[in-house]
Amino acid sequence: MTDQLSRTFSALADPTRRAILERLSGGEATVGELAAPFDMTFAAVSKHLRVLEGAGLVTRGRDAQYRPARLDARPLAAASRWIDNYAQFWEDSVGALDQYLNALQALSPSTPDPHDRTDQENDHD
């Protein structure tokens, strides 16, 4: 069995499923409502919903034939925390690179700006 984080990222890998989650962030919806903006059958949308349910990102209610889907964002919080760890890594790496470049600039002699017209005018005098 796959871990929760893997199921979350696997479900998020598909753009249709991401669009469904975005729609559900505004409130519950039926399969028909979710299928409306897509050029696909209800069965195809239902398959995407099953993947999202398996990842714990969507829950489905039951009221006779009406089975609205709802977003459950808890697995997204774990994925966000995992990504945030790498965001800190990149911020630290970019900060170190910035310090290195500033140190290099401080060591190099200043060079005249080739676009500065006063230097060019002085060369012709």
Classify the C-alpha dihedral 99-104-110-114 as positive or negative. negative
Nearest to 27 by CA among 66, 58, 62: 58
Confidence (pLDDT) at 61: 80
- Domain locations in the chain as residue ranges: 4-73
Confidence (pLDDT) at 1: 47
Identify whether the C-beta of residue 74 lies closer than 8 Å to the C-beta of residue 56.
yes
Ranges under pLDDT 70 in the chain = 1-2, 63-64, 110-125
pTM for this prediction: 0.68
Confidence (pLDDT) at 122: 57
Which fold would CATH assign to domain 4-73? Arc Repressor Mutant, subunit A (1.10.10)
Confidence (pLDDT) at 94: 80
